[in-house]
Amino acid sequence: MPLVEGCRHSLEVSIPVQEVERETGQVIEDLQKRAKLRGFRPGKAPVSIIRKEFAGEVRRKVLESLIPKHLTKRFEAENLNVVGSPDIKDVHFHEGEPLRFTAEFEVVPDIELKDYKDVEIPYHDPEVTDKDIEKRVEEIRDQKAQFVNVDPRPIQDGDFAVLTIESIGGVEGEPVRQDEMVLEIGGAGSLPAFTENVRGLTPGDEKEFEVAYPADYDSGRLAGRTVRFHAMLKGIRRKDLPELNDEFAQDLGDYRNVDELREAVRKSIFAQRQLESQQAAKDQIVDKLVDWHDFAVPEAFVERQVRSRVEQGVRAMADRGLDPRSIKIDWEKAKASQRDKAVREVKASLLLTRIAEREAIGATRDEVDREVERVARQQREPVAALQLRFEKDGTLGAIASHIRTEKTLNFLFEHARKTAD
């Protein structure tokens, strides 16, 4: 039996001398057939010389042949679900003796599941009020609005300014320049400094002013900086909202009147909120299951999850316009800070996999095919070509795993004991 410490196992393996000699003889015979040695025709060099001249290659080939084969046999015999590639140590390989070595490796833990079908969670279906519906309808009207040019006059709150701006200080590298920036004066999405300095200008007016950007501003290049701009007001626009009537509803889709539009909006809001509420409930279920189950996890899985979390952080920086290379980051500290969360995520994944096995939950071929077809439409690629690529790079397996996880989460939610908040 293997020596065990958490998920780390150690096996001592011994291969009979007869099998070692047989494999060694086969390797030497193969080398003899193609060896080119001075003074000998191909295939005629004596075995003793082949053994001496190619000792290193003989050793390598014998080990490469026998070690994986015998390890696999032991793994299967002892029902070990091995993670990654084993570390081979203490190899004892001498002529006339058995081949002995030690293999160290990690295994997927054998989880003893506790009750997972009656997890208590606070949950109720979301509510959608008339106010929610009207707000969404107004958002739709806003999206369908048209902008109309206004005759020159001093610009005021509610107007949309059309500006040419260029930075003249406070930004490293190339100046920030926009030839036609549209800004709502007094709008919630407009920085107050822009509103205060542009309000009252008439088309053709120019002005210089400073803007202090917050540290969490979307553009990493401007975040936390105070930038001086030169701006010119090119024009003024007014937003005209379409009238809310049956004709407007009909233009949006298969609705006969505004009432049908409002009902569709209600269903859309409900579905969105229900999805969010159920996802939050599923997260609570998983958190409780992780808390209830105490088991070791493979370090290889944890390291992979830590790396994934750190890479997500780097991508988030890049999305905000920041160059991670320009920021002094203690990567070892960053990895250490992610470890606890990574361990919980690995535990959650292993638990969900174990529950899926217990309940015979899996992805069907039709479910995987539908997901491939969805991605193909999204990426505008032929389904067959995408299917072939996904088969080669392992994406099909990842898709099937994701579907199985989602179905397992749905199963847990359906069997949870839901209570009022």
pLDDT, tens only, 234-291: 999 999 999 999 999 999 999 999 999 999 999 999 999 999 999 999 999 999 999 9
In this prediction, residues 372-401 reach a mean pLDDT of 93
* Least confidently predicted of 103-107, 285-289, 331-335, 410-414: 331-335
In this prediction, residues 18-25 reach a mean pLDDT of 91
On whether residue 373 sits in a domain, the answer given is yes
Is the pLDDT confidence value at 1 over 50? no
Confidence band (pLDDT; 50, 70, 90) for 5? low
Q: Which of 253, 369, 287, 8 is nearest to 122 (CA)?
A: 287
pLDDT, tens only, 159-178: 999 999 999 887 777 888 99
Whether 272 and 403 map to the same domain: the answer is yes
CA distance 90 to 276: 54
Last residue of a domain, one of 174, 208, 240: 240
Specify whether the CB–CB gap between 144 and 125 falls below 8 A. Answer: no
Whether 230 and 377 map to the same domain: the answer is no
Q: Which of 133, 114, 122, 183 is nearest to 155 (CA)?
A: 183
On whether residue 117 sits in a domain, the answer given is no
Whether 263 and 412 map to the same domain: the answer is yes
Please report where in the chains the tokens 């709008």 appear, as a residue.
187
Confidence band (pLDDT; 50, 70, 90) for 44? low
On whether residue 337 sits in a domain, the answer given is yes
Whether 221 and 271 map to the same domain: the answer is no
In this prediction, residues 221-226 reach a mean pLDDT of 83
> Which CATH number characterizes residue 72's domain?
3.30.70.1050
Q: Which of 232, 175, 224 is nearest to 208 (CA)?
A: 232
On whether residue 20 sits in a domain, the answer given is yes
CA distance 419 to 421: 6
Whether 285 and 320 map to the same domain: the answer is yes
Whether 410 and 270 map to the same domain: the answer is yes
What integer best gives the mean pLDDT of the chain?
89
In this prediction, residues 68-81 reach a mean pLDDT of 91
On whether residue 246 sits in a domain, the answer given is no
In this prediction, residues 179-192 reach a mean pLDDT of 91
On whether residue 233 sits in a domain, the answer given is yes
Please report where in the chains the tokens 């004066």 appear, as a residue.
185
What domain range is 46 assigned to?
3-107
Prediction pTM value: 0.74
CA distance 124 to 420: 6
More confident residue, 7 or 208: 208
- Report the pLDDT value the prediction gives residue 39, as an integer from 0 to 100: 63
Q: What percent of the chain has pLDDT over 90?
A: 66
> Which CATH number characterizes residue 343's domain?
1.10.3120.10
In this prediction, residues 295-318 reach a mean pLDDT of 85
- Report the pLDDT value the prediction gives residue 43, as an integer from 0 to 100: 63
Whether 52 and 16 map to the same domain: the answer is yes
- Report the pLDDT value the prediction gives residue 7, as an integer from 0 to 100: 86
- Report the pLDDT value the prediction gives residue 56, as an integer from 0 to 100: 86
Whether 314 and 231 map to the same domain: the answer is no
Whether 44 and 181 map to the same domain: the answer is no
Whether 188 and 78 map to the same domain: the answer is no
Which distant-in-sequence residues (6+ apart) come within 8 Å of 78 by Cβ? 1, 2
Whether 368 and 280 map to the same domain: the answer is yes
> Which CATH number characterizes residue 215's domain?
3.10.50.40
Whether 219 and 342 map to the same domain: the answer is no
On whether residue 47 sits in a domain, the answer given is yes
- Report the pLDDT value the prediction gives residue 42, as an integer from 0 to 100: 66
- Report the pLDDT value the prediction gives residue 338, as an integer from 0 to 100: 86
On whether residue 191 sits in a domain, the answer given is yes
Please report where in the chains the tokens 């290049």 appear, as a residue.
221
Domain count, the chain: 3
